[in-house]
Amino acid sequence: MLTFIIATAIKVVFFVVLFGLTLSAILTWMERRQSAMMQDRLGPVRANIGKVRLWGLLHPLADALKLVVKEDFRPPHAYRALYVLAPMLALLPALLVFAVIPFGPPVCIDQLGAALADVGGMCKPDQLHYLQIANLDIGLLFVFGIASLGVYGAVLAGWSSNNNYALLGGLRAAAQMLSYEVTMGMAVMGIFLVYGSLEPMSIVEQQSTMLDWGIVKQPLGFILFFFAAIAETKRAPFDIPEGESEIVGYFVEYSGTRFMVFYLGEFIEIVFVGTLITTLYLGGWQFPGLASDGFHSFFGFNVNWLMPHWAVVALQMGAFVTKVFIVCFFQLAIRWTLPRLRYDQLMALGWKGLLPASIFNVVLTAAVMLALQSVK
Amino acid sequence: MDLLSQKTPLSQRRPFISSLMATIALLVPWLATSVAWATPQAAAAAKTAPAFNGALWTFYIFGALTIAGALLTITRRNPVTAALWLVFTLFATAGVYLSLHATFMAAIQVLVYAGAIMVLFMFVVMMVGNTERQEFGIMRGLFSKVVALGAIALLGWRLISLLMRQAPAKAAMVSDGYGSVHSMGGVLFREYLFPFEAISVLLLVAIVGAVVISRRSTEEKEEV
């Protein structure tokens, strides 16, 4: 019991705090740098501690410090309890969903130096640790259940602020997130059918070669899921709930730390979408060609490079982080590539375009699976 | 500013005492029932299991949260707050499902009820605006009191009859993988395939009907 608590605490600190929060802080800087480059300016490069400048990577720290010491303004006649609760409700689901994402392979603690061909079989059960905070039978259903609660943060922020523009932003957020949640669920059904499991760990383990990756087996599902996920995180081109530059969104009345929580929550959601897409469609922590005891084939050549367990684990965790980073980078780049959708275009795309396509994807996948089974 | 005047003056809030009384009145029979049901099982389990029965306490905690949330839902005057407490109640119900090993039911409860249906509720409540001081016509006065009394009588009778019954001496064991996605899917698509499909057709008809009704009303508006 004690081991379990300590192991879980270490995983939470490593995965959610060190990985999730740090990466989302870096992403805020990356987004500002990227937009600056698109607009032919330098962007945030000047924050420094003494001589240490790090290309402006200290800007997230400076931003956080600025927002924390700012005045915490509450609009008059705001509904106090819900106004305070709304940012927390926006942040909490974004953090909770990390619980079921596997960020590395099973680790055998007492045989880190040996080359293990079969980690599950060669390791004593009490030494075997899964690099995943909670391995649930319902796995991805937990993710979608918790993620579907994220909309309350936006809706309640809009309603409790006592501001008509905030209220309208909250209503836009609710309509958009509900519409695209359906597509997201339908798109991921194809993955459930192909891998026959709801557990992320099992899905990742089945993507051992690059031809088994979800993006290869479910190309249409991947595109639909990616679109819907960007809409769920309310990012451009689906950012009409916020529309920070022109129209006014649901958090218009928020300032200081409470605004920071909304802002941070959005970037944590970007990281979360990155981890989810990596897990479902890009092979999770699998390193192309790397088996659990080293390389047996390397880009088509037959080799026999045995590696100790710790090196394999490190390579696979590095592969996971790299993949997540690439997906996050892609999400940021989309913002400055595509113009924002109008409200009616958004609804038409969601209900008349993506949803029928996702249903078609499920039917097609099921038909192909059935045909393959009857051939065998 | 009808949309936004959501503050309730203190004087108009329902008296605290009455909701407290209602809480006690409902909590006591519930606790009595669960103790009467649980004690023989707990005693039987205590011989093999450790003294602390986690599953039982999970059930107690989430059951109490469910009842508290339900009471807060029906005593709030502000529709948005009431809807939020209903979300809380549905969440706590998912916890009760978890304590009964029904993991799939729990996930679907959160996903569908708390995450989708209640968001639509909130959406409508916000669009309609402030209904705090609205009189509900026939639902006010004598009629609603008779209905409420009937409901309380029915519930009380069920509770008392439950209390009178003997709890089973030995609880049946659930099978391996009970309540998991796999077993739920097997039951739904093998044993109950026809009812399942019939319900989905019914829901489809309801959706199409809703679309037809809403389209007709917009066309009429345009003609005027």
pTM: predicted TM-score of the whole model, two decimal places: 0.83
Quote the tokens at residue A68.
């924390």
Residue B5: pLDDT above 50?
Answer: no
User: Which of B7, B106, B115 is facing A77, going by the closest CB pair?
Assistant: B7
- d(CA A186, nearest CA chain B) in Å: 14
- Tell me the residues of chain A between 180 and 199 that have a Cβ less than 8 Å away from chain B: 181, 198
Q: pLDDT tens-digit profile of B8-59? A: 444 344 445 555 666 666 666 555 555 554 555 544 554 554 556 777 888 8
Q: What is the ipTM of this complex?
A: 0.85
A168 reaches B (C-beta below 8 A): no
Give pLDDT, residue A271: 94
- d(CA B55, nearest CA chain A) in Å: 16
Contact state of A77 with B122 under an 8 Å Cβ cutoff: no
Residues 6+ apart with CB under 8 A from A277: A222, A225, A226, A229, A327
Write down the H helix ranges in A97-199. 119-122, 139-147, 150-160, 164-195
By C-alpha distance, the chain A residue nearest B130 is: A159
A40 reaches B (C-beta below 8 A): no
Q: How do the pLDDT tens digits run along chain A, 376 residues long?
A: 788 888 888 888 988 888 989 999 999 999 999 889 888 998 888 888 888 888 888 888 888 889 889 888 888 888 888 899 999 999 999 999 999 999 988 888 887 877 777 777 778 877 888 888 888 888 889 999 898 888 899 889 988 888 888 888 888 888 898 889 999 999 999 999 999 888 899 999 899 888 889 999 999 999 999 999 999 888 878 888 887 777 788 888 898 889 899 989 999 999 999 999 999 999 888 888 788 777 877 777 777 778 888 888 899 999 999 999 999 999 998 888 888 888 899 999 999 999 999 999 999 999 999 999 988 7
Residues of chain A positioned with their CB less than 8 A from the CB of B127: 171
Tell me B172's DSSP state.
P
Residues 6+ apart with CB under 8 A from A36: A42, A43, A44
Residues of chain A positioned with their CB less than 8 A from the CB of B103: 136-138
- Helix, strand counts (H, E) of chain A: 15, 5
CA distance A156 to A302: 58
CA distance A227 to A330: 12
User: Which of A142, A147, A159 is facing B126, going by the closest CB pair?
Assistant: A159
B6 reaches A (C-beta below 8 A): yes
Structural domains of chain B ordered from first start = 13-171 (1.20.120)
Which of residues B223 and A327 earns the better pLDDT score?
Answer: A327
